[in-house]
Structure 1
Amino acid sequence: MADRDPVELHEQQQFEEVPATEAPKLPELDKRRKRKKILLGLAAAIVVIGGAWWLMSDGDHVTTDNAYVNADSAQVTALVSGPVRSVEVVNTQVVRRGQILFRLDDSDARLALAKAEAEYLKARKQFGQISATSGSLAAQIGARDADIGQAQAQLAAAGASLAKARIDLNRRSELVESGAVSKEELTTAQNAYSTAQANVSQARAAVAQASASRGAARESWAANEALIAGTSVDTSPDVAAAKARLDQARLDHERTVIRAPIDGVVTNRQIQVGQRIAAGSAVMTIVPVGSAYVDANFKEGQLARVRPGQKVALKSDLYGGDVVYHGRVVGFSGGTGSAFALIPAQNATGNWIKVVQRLPVRIVLDPKELAQHPLRVGLSMEAEIDVSGAE
């Protein structure tokens, strides 16, 4: 009896308690037993198949709820210092690239721009003056050549006069002993010879002076030509330097109007009208919500089969499970979060306990889905990567 099936014992008892007139037929009992066995077999098969399917499907997916929305936000900074004249946007406002965010007082910038413009015009005029001076110096060289010719002619005349005076003096010196020439005439001839010698020396000095003047004129002309040789009014160094100062002043004036560098949402605005800000100070942030991505922190043991390009299904706590985002893996971080912490973990101790690390995985989202269901930086996400196609 101990080896009999409990179901059969129960049915046997019911069969014995039923009167002979109401006792079921044996074929009906067999049908009931077969039906129960079939149902039990089907239930067991369903459990086995479901468990196998769950194991197989779970092995082709890795999931984490340690994922957060992120974006390459833009820090808005003023490139010039000055007091804030007006602020055109507020927090949570959607802006487009190039839209005015705020303005600085441009009084100093306008004065600097006007001064730079004046210096630029002055440099151009000075170049024209230098060019004209070159012509004048070239003419002076020609005049000095004429002076040299004139001095040389005077030197020749003085030389002829000296030769005549020498002949006259020699002739009178020979006749003075015979009495044909008086001593007074001899003295006059001697004075004339001395005067002729002085005139020759003076003429030679005039030639040297004219030559020196011509050399000075040539040096001045060469120095002036060096300033403009091979250049035009636009390529002159002085003019180019003045033009650069003008461009800088114009740029500084334009920078008093600060515009949005990207499309996005204004966040963390920190300026007010009248506040003086320094160049380089961050005054607000623009978050490009249309190009947000997700950083999913997977455990290191989950990443053996994860590859760039794999499909990812994501759900946000903001919208719940009804909204599913479809993304793909684009890359992995260069290190775990703890590796880049301000105070990295120091595991070289005697009581070291291994802690499972998480590596950030970058996931890009479908822009169309983002436009339909916008996300914000910092929101929590659930990510499930399909690794079924990994090698």
Structure 2
Amino acid sequence: MNVQPGLDQFLSLEAPLPRPRRRRGLRLAALAAAVLAIGFVGVRYFYPHAVEGEVLRPGMLDVELQGPGTLSALTEASVGSRIQARIEELAVDRNDVVAKGETLARLAFDDLSGEFDAAEASAHAAERTVSVAQAERDRAVATLEKARATHERQVALLAKGVASEAGLEDALATRRQAEADLARAGRAVEQAEAERDAATARIAVARAQLDDSVLRAPISGVVVSRTHHVGEVLTPGSEVLHLVDPASLVLTARLDESVISAVLPGQAARVTFTRAEDPISGHVLRLRREVDEETREFEIDITLDTLPANWALGQRAMARIMIERRGPVLTVPTSFLVWCDGRPGVWVATRARARWREVTLGEAGAKRVEIRRGLDAGQKILKPGDLYPFMRVRLAGPAT
């Protein structure tokens, strides 16, 4: 009868036995977490990480200005048609090199030959008309001289009482008629000469049109574009070919107006074209005396010592103009700068720990920038990467 309560009491006493096992598991987990935390902290703050960098030392700095630009030409020409005609022949194509005066294209102008022949025929006829009119004028001059002499003789005879009044009047009428004939002959000569000049002008027009049907190179250079093909009909003013003198190619670069006083003709420059391996040297040719009202930029022309293997008008490039050589000054690579809340700074290694140091920048060069305040010679500067404050570091070597 009393067996069951004893069993229940036994069972109630044995139930709490698994709890010590859970406590042991929690203690092991906490120990493992502590070990991991200690390992993480050790790796993060006590294990030295190799970081690229350099020891800061004074050196020379080439102060440069940088600006984008496009390739343009100082000598170029557009070859087009002055008449409406069909292209009969194209002697050149893109990339062809041509000499000044070389025939580039011929236009078919079917009515031109007939107009030229007609103009020449009219000129010959007008020349003959001038000759006939001049002969008539010479005859009128001779007739007038005879009439004048007769009239003067009749006046003398009338004074002696030998001639009559009627004879004098007839001589005077003959003289006046001769004078009128001479005036008419003179006007005929003038009209004939005017017709001859008009015919000559028509010949000049026809010859000019004939010359316009042959398109010649106005400059020596390279054909950079062709906009029409054989068989197409051109209207007056249509461009057929565009020529450029490669010797006149320049890079037109844009700079902010704030540096206009620092740029002078003759300054050394380096130009890097898109995808070019090495920069091309050159120098500033001239400054353009106009500032864009919207961008507040001005343009400069840079002549190139050599041209890229493949060039094209309008090709983009980056220009660097050296305006000053300063030194010795402290400089850091521009890739080492790290901005924090709009302030420039550099990671430095102090007592083998990484720390960010705010700096004051000075002049800038192609790859380095002057540090005016914030760093001292001999300090170790680090290349940015996965750095964080108080990270244990060791200098692995110069940054690349």
- Classify 1:318/1:111 alpha carbon distance in 2 versus 1 (closer, same or farther; 3 Å): farther
Contact 1:289 1:374 in 2 (8 A): no
- Provide the C-alpha distance between the structure 2 equivalents of 1:335 and 1:128, rounded to a whole number of angstroms: 66
Following TM superposition, by how much is the alpha carbon of 1:47 offset from its aligned partner in structure 2, in angstroms? 0.6
Aligned-CA RMSD value: 3.7
Q: Name the residue aligned to 1:329.
A: 285
Contact 2:257 2:291 in 1 (8 A): no
| Higher Cα Rg, which structure | 1
Q: Say which SS state the counterpart of residue 382 (structure 1) adopts.
A: strand
1:48 pairs with 2:57: yes
- Which aligned pairs between 1:149-164 and structure 2 lie closer than 5 A? none
Contact 1:317 1:381 in 2 (8 A): yes
Which of 238, 241, 245 aligns to 1:284? It is: 241
1:101 pairs with 2:104: yes
1:206-255 CA deviation, whole Å, 9 max, x = no partner? 643441231121233245457779xxx9xx65544433332222111011
Q: Name the residue aligned to 2:261.
A: 304
Q: Name the residue aligned to 1:261.
A: 218
Amino acid at match of 1:213: T
1:81 pairs with 2:84: yes
> Structure 1: which 4+ aligned runs deviate by more than 6 Å?
149-156, 226-229
Contact 2:98 2:222 in 1 (8 A): yes
1:221 pairs with 2:177: no
Amino acid at match of 1:47: L
Contact 2:282 2:302 in 1 (8 A): no
Following TM superposition, by how much is the alpha carbon of 1:312 offset from its aligned partner in structure 2, in angstroms? 1.6
Q: Give the TM-score normalised by the residue count of structure 2.
A: 0.58
1:364 pairs with 2:303: yes
Amino acid at match of 2:270: A
* Bigger proportion of residues as helix: 1
- Which aligned pairs between 1:169-188 and structure 2 lie closer than 5 A? none
- Which aligned pairs between 1:1-391 and structure 2 lie closer than 5 A? 46-50=55-59, 53=60, 56-57=61-62, 60-64=63-67, 66-72=68-74, 73-145=76-148, 204=165, 207-222=168-183, 224-225=185-186, 238-321=195-278, 323-336=279-292, 339=293, 357-366=296-305, 369-370=306-307, 373=309, 375-388=311-324
Contact 1:330 1:364 in 2 (8 A): no
- Classify 1:67/1:148 alpha carbon distance in 2 versus 1 (closer, same or farther; 3 Å): closer
Following TM superposition, by how much is the alpha carbon of 1:296 offset from its aligned partner in structure 2, in angstroms? 0.6
- Classify 1:122/1:317 alpha carbon distance in 2 versus 1 (closer, same or farther; 3 Å): same
Number of residue pairs matched by the alignment? 272
Contact 2:250 2:301 in 1 (8 A): yes
Q: Name the residue aligned to 2:7.
A: none
* Bigger proportion of residues as strand: 2
